[in-house]
Structure formats: structure tokens, C-alpha cells
Homo-oligomer: A and B are copies of this chain.
Amino acid sequence: MHFTSEQRLDDSVLERAFTLGEIPGILWTPASASASLPLILLGHSAAGLQTMYPRLLARARYAVAEGYAAASIELPGSGERPRSAAVDQARADLHRALQAGEPVTDDIVDRLILPLVDQAVPEWQAALDALLARPEIGGPVGYSGGVISIGTRLAVVEPRISAAVLFAGSFVPRAIFEEARQVTIPLHVLLQWDDEGNDRQMALDLFDAFGSKEKTLHANMGGHTGVPQFAGEEGNRFFARHPK
């Protein structure tokens, strides 16, 4: 983990860009850093870190104000990272199906999401290794938002993640439903009821499939990017209810 830039925001937040091998990332901590902060990993969409930056920063500011460190890394195929022709083809097929009003087939969803999950999950785990090795970060670790299939797999395979806020805002491969049944950590799931690029029934079925005894679904009106501010705050209160 190599820091490439550093700036203080409003004298309250220290923002540091880093690279982890070829993967860019950002770490936010309180400007007056104490030791052993709990950590929230901020997931995001394949739109890329730079495009998502304003929304990530808003979430990071809130997390830091509540006494957490927050961090995010670029997804495979996003930003400046090498693209996958096969995944790009699947994304084009998805958009074509949605625009034509045709059903989104399992095949398209599998080709779009599974390679992303397979590559991204070990990268988030490597980032977690590097972050937890730092003296200012101690854990526990929460995961919040982003591609829900990545959050689901992470919740299953990564025992250091103790709670997750998941955003039901993308199509989910059948194989991930099976993994969802193995999730046991507390979950807080956000759903935009009229998400234009998502299947509402699939999201409800996925919520039902999660094996966690404590899971909450918060559904709000509006499209993919219309999550109300109060819904984000409820997600933060969910982390606050779980032991730091």
C-alpha cells in the first residue's frame, strides 16, 4: 500500500489516495487520527472511483464524523484499470435488452457480474489486509454499498467483515443467491423501489435468501441514484448499533 497524495478537508478529514499494486484507492480518516479506528469499506458501482467520488466523499465524511476510517478501491475494469472485452460485451447486451424491453437473461447477468465478483472480492480482501496493518485502523470492519453481489460474496468469505449495508441496485446471478443463504452477519439492505436498472422481485427474493437472523430491508421511492439522505443516515445508524 503506497500513498500517492494527501489532503486535509475542512481540518477534520484526512484524505489519502493510495495504490495497492495496480489498484487505486482512497483512505479517509479523522484529521486528528487516534489509533485502532473501526473501518467501513465503501463499495460503489462500476462507474469508477472518479465518477463516484462526490458520493463516496459524502459517505466517507459521515463515517469519519462518527469515528470510523473509510476506504474504497477501484473495481476491475473501471476508471484507468484494464477493461474486459467480455464484461463490456455483457454490459452492452444488458443495455440492449433493457432498451428493447426484453427479459434480462441469466446468461447476460452471469457474464456481467460473476467475473467482476471473482476478481473484485480478493482485491477487497487484499485492501483489507493492507488497511488493517496500519496502526490507525483496528477494526471491526463493515462493508457498505456497491455491487450487491460483491458485498454478498465478501460477507460469506471474509470473516473480518462483521456487518454490511448492501444496496440492492444491480442484477444478481443465480449462483449468488446460493451464497446469500450462507451469509450470517447482520445486514441492512437498501432498495430503490423504482430502480430503472434493477429487478425489484429479484431484490426481494435476494433479501429473503440471506441467511442472517438480523436483516432489515429499507425500500424508498425513486430511481437508482435517488436514495434519500435519511436512508443513508439509517444505514450509518445500523453500523452504530453494531459493536465498534
Query: Which A residues lie at the B interface, using CB under 8 A?
Result: 193, 204, 207-208, 213-221, 228, 230-231, 234, 237, 241
Nearest opposing residue in chain B for A241, CB measure: B230
A208: contacting residue among B193, B208, B228, CB under 8 A: B193
A216: contacting residue among B208, B213, B214, B220, CB under 8 A: B220
Distance in angstroms between the alpha carbons of A217 and B222 in the assembled complex: 13
The answer to whether residues A219 and B216 also contact, given A230-B237, A237-B230, A241-B230 and a CB cut-off of 8 A, is yes
The answer to whether residues A221 and B215 also contact, given A193-B208, A204-B204, A208-B193 and a CB cut-off of 8 A, is yes
* Chain copies in the assembled complex: 2
Nearest opposing residue in chain B for A212, CB measure: B221
The answer to whether residues A231 and B216 also contact, given A193-B208, A204-B204, A208-B193 and a CB cut-off of 8 A, is yes
Distance in angstroms between the alpha carbons of A204 and B214 in the assembled complex: 20
Whether A219 contacts B231 by the Cβ 8 Å rule is no
What's the least CB distance linking A188 to chain B, in Å? 10
Distance in angstroms between the alpha carbons of A204 and B230 in the assembled complex: 21
Distance in angstroms between the alpha carbons of A207 and B200 in the assembled complex: 13
Whether A221 contacts B213 by the Cβ 8 Å rule is yes
Whether B218 contacts A218 by the Cβ 8 Å rule is yes
Besides the known contacts A213-B221, A216-B221, A230-B241, 13 further A-B residue pairs in the complex with CB atoms under 8 A apart? A193-B208, A193-B217, A204-B204, A207-B219, A214-B221, A215-B220, A216-B218, A216-B220, A217-B217, A217-B218, A218-B218, A219-B219, A230-B237
Contacts of A207 in B (CB 8 A): 219
Nearest opposing residue in chain B for A231, CB measure: B216
Contacts of A214 in B (CB 8 A): 221
Nearest opposing residue in chain B for A221, CB measure: B215
Contacts of A216 in B (CB 8 A): 218-221, 228, 231
Distance in angstroms between the alpha carbons of A92 and B116 in the assembled complex: 54
Distance in angstroms between the alpha carbons of A216 and B204 in the assembled complex: 15
Contacts of A215 in B (CB 8 A): 220-221
Distance in angstroms between the alpha carbons of A234 and B217 in the assembled complex: 13
Contacts of A221 in B (CB 8 A): 213-216
Nearest opposing residue in chain B for A217, CB measure: B219
Q: What are 5 pairs between A and B in contact, CB < 8 Å?
A: A213-B221, A215-B220, A217-B218, A217-B220, A219-B219
